[in-house]
Amino acid sequence: MSLTAVRPDLTVETMEGPVRGAVNSGLRTWRGIPYAAPPVGELRLRLPQPVRPWAEVFDATAYGPVPPQPRGRGLLGAGRRTPMDEDCLTVNVTAPLAPAAPLPVLVYLYGGGFTTGAASAEAYDATRLVERGDVVYVCMNYRLGALGFMDFRRYSTPQRPFDANCGLADQVAALRWVQRNIARFGGDPGNVTIFGQSAGAMSVTALMCAPSAKGLFHRAIALSSAPSTAYGPGLPEKWAANLLDLLGVPEADAGQALASLPASRLVEAAVRLTRDVAPESEPGTRAVAPVVDGDFLPLHPIDAFRAGTAHRVPLVMGNMGREGALFDQFEDVLPTKPERIDTMFALTGPDLKDRVLGAYPGYPGKREAVDVGGDAVFWHPGIQVAEAHSAFAPTWSYRFDYAPRMAHLLGLGATHGLDIPAVFGNYASGLGRFLTLAGGGRTAVSVSNRFQGALLRFARTGNPGPMWPAYETQSRKTKIFDRTDQIVPDPHHIRRVAWDGYLGYR
């Protein structure tokens, strides 16, 4: 007997064609649904185009291929055997079995520094989130690395043009798919919350400043965003030239090479650029990142928030207690060492260096240097966004300070990415299970319940609840999530004042 005959409601008539899902963990799931045309051939490095409709029932019971990226990170991206292809623009939907009314929609944007990530990654299993919140969950694949977040427009020809911000445009195309189709899956297209962590949170803050995303979402949650990670026009052009050098491609042959080289070559070069080149030449930047192109992103995101041109939707914005520690130990791309910090200030604000570093007693000690790097990239730009947006729309700020015992044994503390199990309620598997191997499982679940509960209330109502006051520049009240939660006015006041006026690479 066919799956469709057993559960007729698993076949959904989308605007593009019928799709058949499955029942997994007591929820309805649809996987690998195309939301845009395959970005291959003439569409490589071009903005996403509409998908061709289909008439036969599309089998949406298996995940689609993940975007080209380095392998070996199955928890958050591509494992050794994960199918991978440039033809990757698909969405996954998870929904309750029988919703009584249209449900809030949560659309997740995965992290991974714009070079790794996948909607099918184990860490983003939304089973508990959907069960607890009675929501519809959507996660999409979007292009990464050189194929999604570099600017090769200067190498365009009339016969072979290139576009910038392809990865962000993919996200917009997926959000348009949500508006067209999510009601058919039980979701409310008038109540869509975008949320993401790390590069996904950078995408959230960038989409809030993208005119083409207007009206496609109604609330936003940015978990460890680095909103200053958007550049233009000089740095993206320089990095594009650097990438060609790494590929061994002369500028005269750039157009043909970019259009025809295997994706694996572009992946490898982008990884070298982001891990080896940019962290030394421009510490604190991300060479694969959104581009302030004057069109898709008319203004730098922080400038757009300050001008009030960002979409005026309710926003939850926050960071981990020690963002930089993870990078210092496992992904050495931040300015967490005095040499890189010196270079960063020489390029971006030499007159502010002494004042800022004076706010970190013990600098140039290792811990203080790590905190400077994390604050420069994540915390300080996040505060800039929160204080700017709060003048135009409801805004809430948090700091996630809880770390299980294992994280402390590793010398990490509450560092970047350790909030993912709390958001999804996944302390029984994957990263969450590892973090609680040394104990603390009950506490972790308690913190997760409070954090996740507040985010779900926000997605449902636009307010995370009475125990979390809004952020405003008079008191700067911030929710601290830890073993015991608290509200703290203006945490890190001395550091905030010291960083005031720092603009970074723009």
Catalytic residues: 198, 323, 416
Short-list 23, 177, 28, 154, CA closest to 96: 28
Query: 35-52 burial by CB neighbour count: b if 16+ within 10 A, else e?
Result: bbbbbeeebbbbbbeebe
Give, as one character, the DSSP assignment of residue 127: H
Strands 187-197 and 136-140: unpaired
* Amino acid letter, 451: F
Residues 6+ apart with CB under 8 A from 91: 33, 35, 119, 138, 139, 140, 141, 174, 177, 178
- By the 8 A CB rule, do 136 and 95 touch? yes
- Nearest Cα neighbor of 14 from 110, 91, 108 is 91
The letter for the amino acid at 159 is Q
Handedness of CA 99, 456, 447, 322 (dihedral sign): positive
| Cα angle 89, 86, 50; round to 5 | 40
- Which amino acid does the sequence have at 188? D
Q: Please give the Cα distance from 354 to 115 (Å, whole number).
A: 34
Within 10 angstroms of residue 266's Cβ, the number of other Cβ atoms is 23
CA 106, 111, 117, 121 torsion-angle sign = negative
CA distances from 329 to 42, 300, 317, 370, 415 (A): 41, 30, 25, 10, 11
Nearest to 83 by CA among 95, 103, 69, 94: 69
Residue 101 CA: distances (Å) to CA of 98, 134, 171: 9, 10, 26
Neighbour tally for 210: CB within 10 Å = 24
Q: How far is CA 445 from the centre of its chain?
A: 23
